[in-house]
């Protein structure tokens, strides 16, 4: 059987830049990042080298279809996923009919549930829910033995009985599968910062191979625990940006003065991917076609990219081959682009070696911050939007590039026919998705 | 006679959790048998009541609440004792 074609027909996004794909895309084009001082309350627990982050905007959960009861039951990573999936399905023009009002489940009109899959990535799943229950568990007995229990840090009011389903990483796949009654493969990928890209790649493969006709795919993450302990974990590993004189200018991937990545509170991106003929028959609008995917593994270090970049080069070349292209066809590279010294040094050398200075190069994380397991999904969405609108965003704060590549210095219209979005993760996982403009 | 404010808040919490029609939530209605609450719903209902009224409801107390009226009386007593916020 020849490989089936796969198109992206719906996009949902929540990130520090906004609570819809439209808001995120506008903020990217306008160069409006979300940068703020970390919560002052975190400092009572530890001083950190980095003191800025990319917080999410306030989210009106009921407006995103998340009830008061669900807010008590679900981890924020799960709520972000459900919200992004709702937007993506609406955006794809797929109508949903209420299946069970009590469970709040829906059926997607015109789609066979067993032919629809879910492929989501997350770095740490419901870690903040686990954290909340752990704090409650340990601190509750202290209340009765301390002379002044009011001196205890604030803790969650209860040991949440839904702590287990909230913390399990597969909730980010299970929840949209339940909400939309999807009975095909339902998979969760946990390759840290590459998880979203891996998830999109596997959704592409499943549709291309004929295993499913429709897939919800992308990534989700939530890291904003009330104590800053998750932030501290990244900070103590010296991966985070230190702000210098101007916090707004601190996050600067591929710049000589970069100091690390901007920690994001969280985010989610969900793409609706479909077999191209079926999408055309139902009159769906397509943003882009996914044409290739590859993944491999450094086998080198749990926290650092293999310095020669050999495995990344092999992975990118394999993705381009899988797309039936040559490296000369690539017009746009959505980089992993974190802003750490090591990542940007190796990634820029790899791009130079493979593509030279022909393709446009930008770093979505220069504006969103690093949403870890959500980032690959968000960047796949940004790549699809860049192809659809023939427009992309700038590499924010880039003043002195570390290498002579064609970095996007100003948002605006660009001719982009073929694009690649790539991610490299803690652990050593490398993955890239290749997309084409809809002709 | 229970406080009508508490009665309404309990009823609306039950409706929120169990997704039942308002006219079904009479004080004599059994939460499990008449309103279709399963064990997950019961856990959720306790959590939602704690959230609505503040404070905590222990397992033994929760297990003793059979009807809507039991919940209203229990919450009213706890509010009166000021053992809920």
**Mean pLDDT for all residues in chain B:** 92
For B15, nearest residue in chain A (alpha carbons): A102
Q: What is the mean pLDDT of residues A373-400?
A: 98
Contact criterion met (CB < 8 Å) for A101 and B19: yes
Cβ atoms of residues B3 and B79 within 8 Å? yes
**What's residue A19's pLDDT?**
98
Can you tell me the distance from the alpha carbon of A380 to that of A320, in angstroms, rounded to the nearest whole number?
16
Span A224-269, pLDDT tens digits: 999 999 999 999 999 999 977 799 999 999 999 999 999 999 999 9
**What's residue A190's pLDDT?**
98
What one-character DSSP code corresponds to residue A307? T
Residue of A192, A80, A209 lying closest to A423 (CA atoms): A192
Can you tell me the distance from the alpha carbon of A88 to that of A270, in angstroms, rounded to the nearest whole number?
6
A333: enclosing H helix or E strand: strand A332-334
Biggest distance spanned by C-alpha atoms of chain B = 31
**What's residue A1's pLDDT?**
62
Does the pLDDT value for residue A330 go beyond 90?
A: yes
ipTM given for this complex = 0.89
Does the pLDDT value for residue A117 go beyond 70?
A: yes
DSSP string, A99-149: EETTTTEEEETT--GGGEEEEEE-SSSSHHHHHHHHHHHHHHHHHHH-S-G
Does the pLDDT value for residue B84 go beyond 80?
A: no
By DSSP bridging, strand A186-189 and strand A116-121 are: parallel
- Concerning whether B23 is annotated as a catalytic residue, the answer is no
With 0-12 / 13-18 / 19 or more C-beta atoms within 10 angstroms meaning exposed / middle / buried, residue B5 is exposed
Span B43-74, pLDDT tens digits: 999 999 999 998 889 989 999 999 999 999 99
**What's residue B3's pLDDT?**
73
Contact criterion met (CB < 8 Å) for B47 and A160: yes
Q: Which of A64, A336, A396, A429 is catalytic?
A: A336
From chain B, the residues in CB contact with A157 under 8 A are 50, 56
Q: What is the mean pLDDT of residues A152-166?
A: 91
Cβ atoms of residues A351 and A335 within 8 Å? yes
Q: What is the mean pLDDT of residues A159-177?
A: 97
Can you tell me the distance from the alpha carbon of B21 to that of B28, in angstroms, rounded to the nearest whole number?
15
**What's residue A144's pLDDT?**
83
Cβ atoms of residues A344 and A252 within 8 Å? no
Contact criterion met (CB < 8 Å) for A102 and B16: no
CB atoms within 10 A of CB A287: 24
The token pair at A53 is 């982050």
Residue A265: what are its φ and ψ, rounded to 5°?
-65, -35
Can you tell me the distance from the alpha carbon of A360 to that of A398, in angstroms, rounded to the nearest whole number?
14
pLDDT-derived band at A151 (thresholds 50, 70, 90) equals confident
**What's residue A93's pLDDT?**
98
Whether chain A has a CB inside 8 Å of the CB on B50: the answer is yes
What one-character DSSP code corresponds to residue A387? H
CB atoms within 10 A of CB A436: 22
What one-character DSSP code corresponds to residue A263? B
Q: For A41-55, A132-146, A306-320, A424-438, which range has the lowest pLDDT when averaged over its residues?
A: A132-146
């Amino acid at each position: 059987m020849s490989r089936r074609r796969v198109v992206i027909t719906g996009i949902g996004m929540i990130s520090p830049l906004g609570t819809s794909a439209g808001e995120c895309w506008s903020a990217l084009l306008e160069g409006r990042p979300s940068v703020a001082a970390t919560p002052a309350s975190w400092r009572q627990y530890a001083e950190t080298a980095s003191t800025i982050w990319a917080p999410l905007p306030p989210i009106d959960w009921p407006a995103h279809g998340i009830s008061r009861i669900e807010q008590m039951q679900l981890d924020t990573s799960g709520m972000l996923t459900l919200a992004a999936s709702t937007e993506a399905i609406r955006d794809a023009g797929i109508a949903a009919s209420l299946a069970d009002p009590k469970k709040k489940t829906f059926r997607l009109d015109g789609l066979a549930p067993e032919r629809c899959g879910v492929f989501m990535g997350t770095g740490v799943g419901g870690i903040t829910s686990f954290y909340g229950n752990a704090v409650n568990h340990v601190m509750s007995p202290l209340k009765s033995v301390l002379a002044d229990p009011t001196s205890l840090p604030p803790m969650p009011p209860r040991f949440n009985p839904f702590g287990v389903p909230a913390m399990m990483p597969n909730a980010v796949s299970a929840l949209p599968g339940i909400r939309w009654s999807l009975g095909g493969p339902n998979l969760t990928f946990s390759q840290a910062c590459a998880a979203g890209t891996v998830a999109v790649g596997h959704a592409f493969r499943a549709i291309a191979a004929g295993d499913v006709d429709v897939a919800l795919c992308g990534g989700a993450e939530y890291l904003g625990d009330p104590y800053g302990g998750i932030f501290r974990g990244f900070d103590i590993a010296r991966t985070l940006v230190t702000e210098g004189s101007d916090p707004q200018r601190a996050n600067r991937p591929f710049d000589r003065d970069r100091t690390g990545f901007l920690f994001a509170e969280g985010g989610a991106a969900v793409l609706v991917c479909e077999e191209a003929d079926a999408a055309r028959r139902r009159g769906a609008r397509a943003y882009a076609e996914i044409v290739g995917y590859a993944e491999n593994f450094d086998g080198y270090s749990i926290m650092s990219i293999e310095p020669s970049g050999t495995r990344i080069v092999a992975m990118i070349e394999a993705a381009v081959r899988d797309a039936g292209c040559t490296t000369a066809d690539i017009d746009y590279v959505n980089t992993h682009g974190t802003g750490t010294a090591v990542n940007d040094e190796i990634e820029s050398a790899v791009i130079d070696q493979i593509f030279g200075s022909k393709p446009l190069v930008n770093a979505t994380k220069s504006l969103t911050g690093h949403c870890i397991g959500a980032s690959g999904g968000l960047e796949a969405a940004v790549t699809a939007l860049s192809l659809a609108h023939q427009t992309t965003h700038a590499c924010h704060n880039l003043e002195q590039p570390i290498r002579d590549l064609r970095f996007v210095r100003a948002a605006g219209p660009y001719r982009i026919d073929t694009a690649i979005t790539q991610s490299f993760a803690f652990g050593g996982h490398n993955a890239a998705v290749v997309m084409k403009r809809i002709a | 006679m229970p406080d009508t404010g508490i009665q309404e808040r309990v009823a609306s919490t039950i409706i929120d959790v169990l997704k039942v029609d308002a006219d079904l939530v009479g004080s004599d209605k059994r939460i499990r048998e008449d309103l279709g609450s399963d064990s997950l719903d019961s856990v959720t209902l306790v959590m939602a009541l704690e959230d609505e009224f503040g404070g905590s409801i222990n397992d033994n107390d929760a297990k003793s609440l059979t009807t809507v009226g039991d919940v209203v009386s229990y919450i009213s007593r706890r509010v009166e004792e000021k053992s809920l916020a």
